[in-house]
Amino acid sequence: MHEIETARLYLRQFTPDDLDDLYRIYSDPEIMKYLTGVKTREATEIAIHAMLKGWAENNFGMWALVHKIDRKLIGRCGLAFLDRTPEVELGYAIDKVYWNQGLVTEASFASLNYGFEILKLERIVAIARPENIASQRVIQKVGMKYEKNARYYETDVLYYSISRETYESKVVL
């Protein structure tokens, strides 16, 4: 099992016991507004199993974000295949209580590092809806550059990417 510790977070794999906490996040319309929309409890349970399956099959996936001080699950962040492509996408969602604290950026850097240093990926992408300015800021803070307008998950998005070479040139290892 791959786990990562950052200054303020533990990134660990999900377990079935995380259902209540993840459902709290996935059922909040404000949090899910720019993602796939609110999820039912059953859909959240299916999502946890899908994330665990992704880890088992690909050696990557979404981590549960656990706040070190609060000791509770506050969101998810990690890598997954971009909608119907072989490209690997950075994704995240966090409880709104923790917005604007730099926690998603912190978790995103850890996810990119895992992708480039452990998985040896050559490129990682990210997408955000044009109106999701906060997500675009996170994507830009971690060094990704806008490439094009695109359509994934049946919605119009802005498409960003970063290569391993660019990442390594910006990060002091």
- Residues 125-167: pLDDT tens digits? 999 999 999 999 999 999 999 999 999 999 999 999 999 999 9
Torsion angle defined by CA atoms of residues 162, 163, 167 and 169, in that order, rounded to the nearest 10 degrees:
-130
Give the pLDDT score at 59: 93
Give the pLDDT score at 119: 95
**Of 78, 84, 69, 70, which is closest to residue 21 (Cα–Cα)?**
70
Cα separation of 161 and 127, whole Å? 9
**What is the dihedral sign for C-alpha 148, 152, 156, 157?**
negative
Give the pLDDT score at 170: 78
The per-residue pLDDT for range 32-71, each reduced to its tens digit, is 999 988 999 999 999 999 999 999 999 999 999 999 999 9
The per-residue pLDDT for range 86-135, each reduced to its tens digit, is 999 999 999 999 999 999 999 999 999 999 999 999 999 999 999 999 99
Count CA within 13 A, CB hemisphere, residue 109: 17
pLDDT(173) > 60 = no
Structure tokens at 22: 């993840």
pTM of the model: 0.94
Cα separation of 96 and 99, whole Å? 5
Residue 159 vs residues 39, 90, 92, 104, 155: alpha-carbon distances, Å: 24, 11, 15, 18, 12
Give the pLDDT score at 101: 96
